[in-house]
Amino acid sequence: MESGAAAAGPVPGRFPFPYTPYRIQEQFMEALYGALEAGRVGIFESPTGTGKSLSLICGALSWLRDWEEKRRQEEEQLLALGAGGQDALSPQQARPGSADTAGQPDWVAAFVQRKEERDMVDRLKEEQIRRKKREERLEKIRQNVQLKYAAKRKRCEEDEAKRLLQLSKEALSQGAGEDALDQLDHNEEELILAEYESDDEKKVVSGLEEDDDDDLEEEHVTKIYYCSRTHSQLSQFVREVQKSPFGKDTRLVSLGSRQNLCVNEEVRRLGALQLINDRCMEMQKNKHEKKSNEENEGKKRRVSRMVCPFYSFEQIQFLRDEVLVEVKDIEQLVSLGRETKACPYYGSRFAIPAAQLVVLPYQMLLHEPTRNAAGIKLKDQVVIIDEAHNLIDTITCIHSAEVSGSQLCCAHSQLSQYMERYRKRLKAKNLMYIKQILYLLERFVAMLGGNVNQNPGSQAVSQTGTVLKSINDFLFQSQIDNINLFKVQRYCEKSLISRKLFGFVERYGGPASAVKTNKENQKLAGLQDFLLTLQQGSDKEAGTPQSPPVEAEHDQLRTASPLMQIEGFLSALTNANQDGRVILNRQGTVGQSSLKFLLLNPAVHFAKVVQECRAVIIAGGTMQPVADFREQLLCCAGVDPARIVEFSCGHVIPPENILPIILCSGPSNQQLVFTYQTRDLPQMMDETGRILCNLCNVIPGGVVCFFPSYEYEKQVYGHWEKTGLLSRLAARKKIFQEPKKANQVEQVLVEYAKCIKRCSQTGGQMTGALLLSVVGGKMSEGINFSDDLGRCVIMVGMPYPNIKSPELQEKMTWLDKTMPRDGGQAPSRVLIENLCMKAVNQSIGRAIRHQKDFASILLLDHRYTRPAIFNKLPQWIRERTQVKPAFGSAFAELRKFHRGKLDAL
């Protein structure tokens, strides 16, 4: 089904494809081509298993290929006109006597027009020369394999020379031990903040010399930005591009964070993204300072000499070209960076202008500061956002921030100690900003009902509960409305204060570094003790002492650098007053309490994307219900409804391969209504158990049963254990439960799959496995239950969100105030239904993963029959759904369906 008129696409069959495409893939590509050509904002739905990725690749790159060809022809015509001397003015145009309507003589207007045309021709000539140069350079690399390793060899020679030089220096300095202590003190220089020159925005130093920058920076060609949620999804997409007909001649760049792309082991070891970012920026700064110090040797000030060995103009230029020559995913890019001793993070960034397809994670595209830092320019480009069913939540999360009382007190203590130690070395402006940050931290803790100078773990909060405030109210009540948060935020960003503070705590705050006993360290012993009590306090509050060492390590990183987290919160407070709320969550102690910024209007951050881009495509396997995207995101971002086009295609599986049933009552005629009031009743839990027992007798392989929450799943499981239902179920299917911890999911899935395979091979009474899962948990998204892993998916009740949540209540109030009523329904009611059905659609879509797959889907709740709910099911499921008021007929239908499929196998 297609709604909204898309501009006519190319002739069918014009799309290169690795095999003969399904008809629905052709329809998808035609609609996509039309939307890109007409500059639309499209909402595209193509169920998983229908080859969505390939359709996106072949449809979008076919459009780009045609568009580039059209541009080339137009350029040639213009250049031909320019060469033909068309700029001479005709006597009519040159006659001075005539004047145009604006009162300007015709000959003047004509002269201006001709000048503009000449300028355009000159611009096109320059562009053509640049393009030719680039194509020749890349072709040279493609043809000449030796060239690929020349730069690498040169780099190795340089490294060897540096190593020998270092050895010579060490040999000379032997016996000069008396300078060692002095040198140690100089190492501390890097912890001191450099002079902060100005509050005005300055061009961010990219790290490379300016002349180098000119060589690396090119004009941005028209390109497609493709983004998805996870790096594994992006790598999978890149592999699809490699296999496609466009794999050989597409200039593709994979972008990632420094955490994913850094090849400097010393920096990678820091672990936390913010620490890696800050250390990288600092090393670049050192390179610049080192350079300027060499030029002005008269200056005595010594700076940290640590510069990154992977950060060299020649190597990065080489890596950039290598990236453009051949399609590579993140892993291949990192391997190449290690091999060539060049930085993949910057190599990929400098490849963006010339790339035709840029593959990147959500965060990089949807967060404007990150986008700008990466050098992404959206003007007149195409953006495709895949796996976009959670796009609204994603934008909200990216722009929300939370800080705990522990973090606020810890940051205050660290910063106070830092200021005391380096007071004499810090310039006035640095001291001014540090004092402002300390005051902000003090006021934030006061808003939680605490005192910043006391241990947060032992300060009890008198008035517990959750309070929501507008940004302005929060600023006034915390008495910080007289502080310019924009300037403080900019200071944090430019001065790298959180990185300096982390280095300071690393040096003086940990047991490992407390070996030295000079006077300064004795002064700072209090800081170490205090940090230790904070760490213990936050461990108690986490409530998971048995968490694996990796997670504990990350916790320590977070508590060791709390200012980094607080910077995010300060940044959030600079949002417009009407677009967000501050949540004061006061718990038992100040340490357990928190401040959270909640973004209510994600459209404000998406508006720039849709305004600047030529076209935006929001795509996913399950986009229903689409009203959220249209109303909350696109219309609120100022998109003209006429510009929005919707496309939804069916599934590639034949209709007889899927059996969706809405079941209204169970085997003992108990009506199925799993509301908060009724779902805890013993008879409802018994009825659910009886339904599962009956189904497990006739359904082979794996059965996946989704519950609305972990708590409810636990409650039902406990009830079945008491009544003996669990042992009856376990006689037919081995029972697995979804674990709460992410690191245990893989193990459970492997055991589940092994059990199903074993049962299908050996036969006997045990027919497979039953997996008890949770909607919105680890198994309801991104995991495929194809073939025998998911022959039946059962949804117990309707997973409505918790409407008592203060955050959700605030969002509902905001929607009712700002959005029009939808078909007589309040926008808040529509939101609740949409959140519920999005979760249902994601979960039930797990079972059918390819054309020959088959499965039954069982929705246990008579409320699914309501038209408003029923119409929010995906079209390909909705068209085949049967409503069964009684269990008998539903059971007969299911038995017939699965027996028929087994006989056909």
Summarised one tens digit per residue, pLDDT across range 17-43 is: 888 888 888 889 999 999 999 999 999
User: Would you say residue 593 has pLDDT above 70?
Assistant: yes
Task: List all residues 6 or more positions away from 142 whose beta carbon is below 8 Å from its beta carbon.
Answer: 325
Per-residue pLDDT band for 387 (boundaries 50, 70, 90) equals confident
Alpha helices in 303-390 (DSSP H): 313-325, 330-340, 344-349, 362-366, 368-373
CA gap 784, 780 in Å, rounded: 9
CA gap 489, 491 in Å, rounded: 5
Summarised one tens digit per residue, pLDDT across range 833-891 is: 989 998 898 888 777 777 788 889 999 999 999 998 999 998 888 888 999 999 999 99
Count CB atoms within 10 A of the CB of residue 515: 7
Q: What angle do CA 261, 266, 270 make, to 5 degrees?
A: 75
Q: Average pLDDT, stretch 427-433?
A: 87
Q: Average pLDDT, stretch 439-452?
A: 91
Q: Provide Rg for the chain, Cα atoms.
A: 32
Task: Show the tokens assigned to 399.
Answer: 């722009």
Q: Average pLDDT, stretch 208-231?
A: 69
User: Would you say residue 697 has pLDDT above 70?
Assistant: yes
Q: Print burial letters for 832-852: b (CB count within 10 Å at least 16), e (below 16).
A: bbbbbbbbbbbbbbbbbbeee
Q: Average pLDDT, stretch 449-474?
A: 87
User: Would you say residue 518 has pLDDT above 60?
Assistant: no
- Lowest-pLDDT range of 16-20, 594-598, 680-684: 16-20
pLDDT score for 768: 86
- The 3-class SS string of 113-139 reads HHHHHHHHHHHHHHHHHHHHHHHHHHH
Q: How far is CA 864 from CA 26, 621, 673, in A?
A: 33, 21, 10
CA gap 644, 5 in Å, rounded: 9
SS3 769: strand
- Lowest-pLDDT range of 127-131, 333-337, 770-774: 127-131
Q: Average pLDDT, stretch 802-827?
A: 85
Prediction pTM value: 0.79
Helical axes 806-818 vs 827-844, angle rounded to 10°: 120
Q: What angle do CA 96, 100, 102 make, to 5 degrees?
A: 125
Q: How many helices (H) and strands (E) does the chain have?
A: 37, 19
CA gap 599, 596 in Å, rounded: 10
SS3 41: strand
**Residue 521 is which amino acid?**
N
Whether the Cβ atoms of residue 724 and residue 759 lie closer than 8 Å to each other: no
Closest CA to 277 of 665, 679, 564, 581: 564
CA gap 728, 724 in Å, rounded: 7
When comparing pLDDT for 75 and 516, which is higher? 75
Summarised one tens digit per residue, pLDDT across range 339-364 is: 888 899 998 898 899 899 999 998 88
Q: What share of the chain in percent tops pLDDT 90?
A: 22
**Residue 801 is which amino acid?**
P
- The mean pLDDT of the chain is 78
Whether the Cβ atoms of residue 31 and residue 649 lie closer than 8 Å to each other: no
**Residue 478 is which amino acid?**
S
CA gap 396, 169 in Å, rounded: 54
Count CB atoms within 10 A of the CB of residue 804: 8
Burial label for 342, CB within 10 Å (0-12, 13-18, 19+), is buried
pLDDT score for 715: 93
Per-residue pLDDT band for 9 (boundaries 50, 70, 90) equals very low
SS3 733: strand
Summarised one tens digit per residue, pLDDT across range 172-188 is: 555 444 443 344 355 56
Closest CA to 47 of 703, 617, 653: 653
Per-residue pLDDT band for 440 (boundaries 50, 70, 90) equals very high
When comparing pLDDT for 427 and 148, which is higher? 427
Whether the Cβ atoms of residue 784 and residue 846 lie closer than 8 Å to each other: yes
Alpha helices in 543-591 (DSSP H): 549-560, 562-572
Per-residue pLDDT band for 530 (boundaries 50, 70, 90) equals very low
For residue 840, the number of C-alpha atoms closer than 13 Å in the C-beta half-sphere is 32
CA gap 668, 682 in Å, rounded: 13
CA gap 603, 538 in Å, rounded: 35
pLDDT score for 515: 27
pLDDT score for 307: 81
pLDDT score for 148: 53
SS3 624: coil
**Residue 167 is which amino acid?**
L
Q: Which of 112-126, 164-178, 417-431, 537-551 has the highest average model confidence (pLDDT)?
A: 417-431
Q: Print burial letters for 254-292: b (CB count within 10 Å at least 16), e (below 16).
A: bbbbbbbbbbbeebeebebebbbbbbbbbbbbbbebeee
Q: Average pLDDT, stretch 118-142?
A: 69
Per-residue pLDDT band for 208 (boundaries 50, 70, 90) equals very low
Closest CA to 598 of 574, 572, 575, 580: 580
pLDDT score for 564: 82
First to last CA, the chain: 32
